[in-house]
Structure 1
Amino acid sequence: MSFWESFLADQDYQDEHQALLASVQHQLTCLLESEAPLLPFGERLPELDSSNLRYGVDCLQSISSQINKDQLASKLANWIKAFEPRLQSVSVEVSDRKAQSNSIEFSLLATLRTGDTVHSLVFDSNISLANQKVDLEGQDIV
């Protein structure tokens, strides 16, 4: 039994694959709802900028207003690659901003290996810029 199933899951999973998918979805939600420290560690310690001390994403409110959607997609993909190592072939597609919406909508595509099987995952996601709450809906494409 995994840590996820023992302490975090709000339901019991009969299928190990479904438990793993729920665990990845939970960890991605935690990552995207966490804000990384604003201050860099400096040029003398570049390893720290990619360590767990920088867990979370930079201020999405300011980032989303300063860069285009392709740059934002690249930043999101890099954060996910750095902090969710179970996912491989990560790519992010950011949708065009809607004038009435104060959120970032994107799709996350990745692969997840379970034993000998590789699963393709798609997460349709929405991050509210008002409170940095994430709505992450995942599906597995075998």
Structure 2
Amino acid sequence: MGICSYNDSNPVCRCHSDNFELVDKRESRKGCKKKVELRDCPPGKETMLPLEHSIFLTYPPELSLQIYYIAISACMLNCLVGACNAYASTSLSDGSGQCYLKSNNFMSGYHSPAMPSTSYMKVCGPVMPTP
């Protein structure tokens, strides 16, 4: 779990927020892990971490089974309330209204200021933004 962007030729990966920590502090490309897993989260404490200009990568058959055409707030709430046991969602801001849910707990993503999408990841609250 991590969001990566690219400088001239190398990926630069980081954790989504302080709700996560690097798996290996010497090699950021190995990704991040949640500090508190959802299964250990007290009831009612799950919340959504917004990731603007980010997209979670999906692979068939995952994507084709979980596409919806709904508003961005509904996309986030659909994931939060447990639709398809989702762990994350991405809402495309390209005019299509497309939303897709991630039901696999293994995630990687891409971040770019030019990316017309917002992704949300379910975490044990409160959300702790990275300074």
TM-score between both structures, scaled by the size of structure 2: 0.32
The structure where strand makes up a greater share of residues is 2
User: Between Structure 1 and Structure 2, whose CA radius of gyration is higher?
Assistant: 1
Quick one: higher RCO (CA 8 Å, sep 6+), 1 or 2? Answer: 2
